[in-house]
Amino acid sequence: MTPEFELDDKVAKVLDAVYAAPSERATKQAQVKLRRALMTARGKMVYYGYAPKTRVGPLFVAVNDRGLVALDFGLSEQEFVARVAQRTKATLVRSDDETGEALQQVQEYLAGRRTTFDLPLDMSTMSEFQRRVLNIALKIPRGKVLTYGDVAKAIGKPQASRAVGQALGHNPVPIVIPCHRVLGADGSLHGYSAGGGLQTKAWLLQLEGAVLPKMSE
């Protein structure tokens, strides 16, 4: 059995207690413990799914009971699962049902049939600084751009442009949180860590009707 599908140890132990309970009363007590263990394990469960062919390549998403946890593209399924598992410390399970809505919305966006997203986001694995930065990115209107300096000023740290760039570079849900709408101080495109690099960043800006800036060397 692969690590993604191993049952949480606490749940397994409580199940054993249910099966071994010597009386009806003991069984009921064990069942109560099982429900508690399942509620705990649920918080550690992340579901993922993918679309094999999109404009940006194979597209992967991951969700939990709070919302969208991760989005990535241009990498393998194994790489995506390992990356999300390491960041969330959760068990990943493939589920088309759980991820269907997120995949559909992102594919519609990439195809030009959607202009906004209606997806809850789980930002609990991010630092407070990164959440502040990405919340500013979320507010940038479609077709508009800000600079790293603009974002730094918006969070009250005007000297933190480099740290802002790092926070955006580790955005776990690109496209949905539009870090591609943030440019260099001179208005040029700078590093984009998601699949396709600057070419993808430029394409997303064109898709949204933004005036395409020059690319940095």
Catalytic residues: 179
State how far the alpha carbon of 25 is from the alpha carbons of 14, 28, 36, in Å. Answer: 15, 5, 17
At 45, is the secondary structure helix, strand, or coil? strand
Find residue 143's DSSP bridge partners: none
Task: Give 91's strand partners.
Answer: 45
Among the residues of 175-215, which ranges form H helices? Answer: 197-207
Taking the C-alpha atoms of residue 216 and residue 206, their distance in angstroms, rounded to an integer, is 17
- C-beta atoms surrounding 190 within 10 Å: 19
